[in-house]
Structure 1
């Protein structure tokens, strides 16, 4: 009767996991539930297709001196083709080794940026990822710098600036200038490095007769349709995507687009002495960074047409006397969240916690060293899959002493098993007394029943850290392994469910079980077979079905994780066989247990036959 009950409970547990797991995946790991092709569609924030009624503009409004309010409203418009919009206004070309695009002289906007090192899809002829796109196009996303003030004419988003050069390169800065009719000349001197950092020096020369008060600002404005978030780009508890800032030396991952909507016209504001503000995507970042840790007011605001704006302004308007010049410098990061580059910028320009733009999460202290180890192994081997295999050897090597203690503990547990069975028989009617006597036995024999679980617990932060590294690090994106594995940051695409693509059928993500998760399940099953059998039949049955449950659980995860787990299982099997040779009593006890189990099964079969 007990055996039947245990089997029923095991089956129910399996069903709950298999059918409940897709719901949990969509809730907590939305970035994992999509197949390779779906993930690729999310990699280009600005393309020419589809439509969402928005203009994307965010004009500055004149304010009283000392105020830092900047408008975020925009008129709805018709989505137009990118090439048409780019041809409407005069532009200054941007030409660097890693960024291509242009600056719109109307409004002095950075609204045309593509990342030449990163393509939208795996194919070599795939177009580069577009980060910034102008107003009036799908997924409009841009940055601009300006001034707010009362009683003085300031340039706005309609102002057409004059450029002193036709092209912005790392060797040739560009100065944009505009003058009003009352004697004020505004200038923005732009410089760019060979990666993703743009420096904007805003200056105002007051040649008028009276003092003026101005507040320089910088904004990032983007369209984000929360009802149609691309696959792999959803905010979740494991990966923060959306508004982000570092305020007074603390990284804020708590604000999302819905929070900005709920805040209304006032937005969400924070005073920041050390920090920056912007929008973080899975792989890309747009951020406004005050220089020299200047104290600013940062704010997130929502406008009409799914527009969201991040902005920084000085805390107070500054008075410019006649004949004087006011200068303010702000940096704009616009590019890929490459870990080493973020670390370099952080140290070189004293940018507080810029490396936290990558949402490393709870195990930050462990994940970054793991990333650098993996990155070094990748550079050493030239293949990221090989790097994962080499890292698995490193991890298993470090954990080898713990595995030895685990097996020693298992041997001790087997040695006291006869005494434990006697206690269970003696106190089978008194469970509390039985537990007390078993605990006393553990103490007398110096046995730690939890020692065998230690390696499993240690694997949890390693697995989670590797998950974060694979899913968040742009360095791992589109990295191939071998044969059919073209992207180790995406799920294994080859599944027998549709006969490896021969049947025109796309199975749901939790059923699209690839070859790697199947190999992972087989190796784990064999690994569990080498373990001593559990004394509790229910536990033994759970361990028997667990590998096959994990096959379905792991199917939507990155192929790199599946590769790591499979190789780890193989190494564990080899490790177990070697350790069994060092603990023959454990192997003998396993053989004895198997013999007793087979004998008991034959007796039960014979009893049923009779």
Structure 2
């Protein structure tokens, strides 16, 4: 009896931790959906002063209205099917960019996502290109260039020029493709009487860390590839010289303050949010000094600098860089990686350990969505496909669990008979396993095989932008957000805000019900205390899962219902497995 009491207390404490601590732990370990209406883009805001000593991040300027700042300097329009904005001729910065195909909310009149904004605005976030040199006058953040040509489009590049009056002419030629990639050709002609030495550079700068959390499963913030692959260790706190983040303390991040620059060949670097990215990309064959740093006012900058080059009189220096500013669409990133040779560019999405499983799952889900046109239905069909493919594994697991259930009365009799001799009881149980041809571990191995698949599907649904703002049925207008039909405030009609662990919608309730029926079909634990805990576990998990994206809940409900159907089928085929064996 004391053992049962102790087990009950242990499981009760565990259930309480899951119920009341689940929101805290999951916020740290797992990316969460934003509260409805759907998530806004986490804009950056920053400023940079380009001096002859190199690109440098400085403190934030006074915040002013976006339209006022845009009108203060001449601009060249940017017009493509996916991007709208302008290039600032003062400083030659790409600092005004919206994503026309992505809105801030699900409202039909919602404005598009603003990715880049000029220095001096609330959401300053921009890219710059220039040169550093000793003994030569170079353009800086206050230099006003002269533009040749009209708007920048996929078919019409634009060139910006500036002469320093000492024989050097600096030019930046901007081109853009049909999606999100800019190509910037930096050239300097030396008509002076003496050679000069210059170092071309490119930077992306922002201020503020945004509202999205950097978690173990999804890195938010500075990201780059430096020779050895993508790094997710550098954080905003790290750049500010603060202590390691919560996850860094647990998992031992290797990043250190002041240790964020690398000498590498090619690669890329920038700032990534959950769904969007701004990154500068040097020539894949160029040797660069690249990394991140910070300044006052929560200003952060990633930049790379090429090795110094001497330009003789009458000669020119030409270098080419690229700049990506757009949505982290999986297929788009992969195409850039393959066609442009951008090393590990697809890792701008933090796929993690199981990328080899996650990518095929995404490709299939994306194909289903394009064929059907409803992302929720695509999730259901994907779940059915996966559960069908692993049915042989699940069948073996079920058979093992059913066999264990059938011999439970015999095991109980052995434990009662030898309750004062634990060693003898263990021997008799092992002999029972052998006689009945039951392997207690057989039910665990199939579960271990399924874990990478299920976790991979979880990451695909949570991290890929393709599900963002996708409707399903009825009131579910955004599968990437929690269920907005919260029951405890009468589906939003009562004017009060619920804490996240009480914001239970209709879909989480359906999830709890599906888990209840699935648990009912599983072999019951022998311990009465465990039986009580497993009886309440579906409702505890209902509260824990409520703040997550509806798309993930749709997957779990479908998986539970499919599992119930499979178990009923197996019980119908093997009715003897449902009845416990007679105890001798």
CA spacing shift, 1:290–1:77, aligned 2, 3 Å: closer
Deviation at 1:237, TM superposition (A): 1.5
Q: 1:109 to 1:463 in 2, by over 3 A?
A: same
1:574-602 CA distances to partner (integer Å, 9 max, x unpaired)? 11111001111112339x99xxxxxxxxx
> Measured at CA, do residues 164 and 343 of structure 1 come closer, stay the same or move farther in structure 2, by a change above 3 Å?
same
Cross-structure match for 1:61 = 51
How much has 1:122 moved relative to structure 2? 0.3
Measured in 2, the distance between the counterparts of 1:463 and 1:427 equals: 41
1:257 equivalent among 200, 212, 236: 236
Distance in 2 of aligned mates of 1:557 and 1:437: 46
User: After superposition, what is the alpha-carbon deviation per residue over 1:180-206, rounded to whole angstroms, capped at 9, x for unaligned?
Assistant: 121111111110001000000000111
d(CA) in 1 for partners of 2:405, 2:381: 34
- Give 2:58's aligned residue: 73
Deviates more, 1:205-214 or 1:534-543: 534-543
Structure 1, 431-440 or 573-582: larger mean CA deviation = 431-440
> 1:155-554, aligned counterparts within 5 Å?
155-224=139-208, 226=209, 229-230=210-211, 233-262=212-241, 268-314=260-306, 316-554=307-545
Superposed counterparts of 1:549-564, under 5 Å: 549-564=540-555
Q: Deviations over 1:494-531 (max 9, x none)?
A: 12111222322221111111111111111111122122
Structure 2 residue 41 is the aligned partner of structure 1 residue 43: yes
Aligned position for 1:603: none
Contact kept? 1:517, 1:554, Cα under 8 Å: yes
Q: Following superposition of structure 1 onto structure 2, how do residues 30-179 of structure 1 map, counting pairs within 5 Å? A: 31-32=31-32, 34-37=34-37, 40=39, 42-43=40-41, 45=43, 56-63=46-53, 69-74=54-59, 76-179=60-163
**In structure 2, what is the Cα distance between the partners aligned to 1:416 and 1:12?**
30
1:154-176 C-alpha deviation (Å, 9 max, x unpaired)? 11111110111121111101111
Asked whether the equivalents of residues 75 and 88 of structure 2 are also in contact (C-alpha less than 8 Å), the reply is yes
SS of aligned partner of 1:447: coil
8 Å Cα contact 2:515/2:560 also seen in 1? yes
SS at match of 2:488: helix
Where does the alignment leave 5 or more consecutive residues of structure 2 unmatched?
A: 243-255
Contact 2:33 2:480 in 1 (8 A): no
Q: 1:108 to 1:274 in 2, by over 3 A?
A: closer
- What is the SS of the residue equivalent to 1:574? helix
What is the aligned partner in structure 2 of residue 27 from structure 1?
A: 28
Is the CA contact 2:47–2:125 (under 8 Å) kept in the aligned structure 1?
no
Bigger shift: residues 374-383 or 292-301: 292-301
2: CA distance between counterparts of 1:373 and 1:472? 16
Task: Measure the CA separation in 2 of the matches of 1:36 and 1:457.
Answer: 35
Q: Give the secondary-structure state (helix, strand or coil) at the position aligned to 1:352.
A: coil
Please state whether the residue corresponding to 1:517 is helix, strand or coil.
Answer: helix
CA contact (8 A) 2:11 2:530 kept: no
Query: Aligned to 2:501, what secondary structure does the other structure show?
Result: coil
The residue number in structure 1 matching 2:245 is none
Q: For each residue in 1:373-409, what CA deviation from the matched residue of structure 2 results, as whole angstroms up to 9, or x when unmatched?
A: 1111111111000001101110110111112212322
The residue matched to 2:377 in structure 1 has which SS? helix
Structure 1, unpaired ranges of 5+: 47-53, 64-68, 594-610
- Tell me the equivalent position of 2:248: none
Cα separation, 2, equivalents of 1:70 and 1:340: 33
Distance of aligned partners of 1:271 and 1:323 in 2 relative to their CA distance in 1, 3 Å threshold: same
After superposition, the CA RMSD in angstroms is 2.1
- CA contact 2:87–2:96 (8 Å) conserved in 1: yes
Q: In the superposition, relative to structure 1, how do residues 378 and 340 fare at CA in structure 2: closer, same or farther (>3 Å)?
A: same
Correspondence for 1:589: 580
CA displacement 1:7-30 (0-9 Å, x = unmatched): 55444333232122232133334x
State the 1:363 CA deviation: 1.3
Aligned 8 A contact 1:249 1:353 in 2: no
CA distance in 2 between counterparts of 1:358 and 1:265 reads: 24
Q: Who is 1:18 aligned against?
A: 19
Change (3 A) 1:273 1:440: farther
Alignment partners' CA distance in 1, 2:258 and 2:569 = 66
Q: Residues 549 and 460 (structure 1 numbering): CA distance in 2 closer, same or farther, change over 3 Å? A: farther
The secondary structure found in structure 1 opposite 2:49 is coil
Aligned to 1:114, the other structure's residue is in SS state strand
- 1:587–1:218 distance in 2 versus 1, CA, 3 Å: same
**Alpha-carbon separation, structure 2, partners of 1:452 and 1:415:** 14
**1:266–1:318 CA distance, 2 compared to 1 (3 A):** farther
- Cα separation, partners in 2 of 1:260 and 1:465, compared to 1, 3 Å: same
Q: Once the two structures are superposed, what CA deviation does each residue of 1:76-119 show, in whole Å capped at 9, x if it has no partner?
A: 53211000100111110001111100000010010000000100
CA distance 1:431–1:265, change in 2 (3 Å): closer
In the other structure, the counterpart of 1:599 is none
- Please give the per-residue CA displacement for 1:393-437, whole angstroms capped at 9, x wherever unaligned: 101101111122123223432443444233212211122332233
SS at match of 2:580: helix
Give the TM-score normalised by structure 2.
0.93
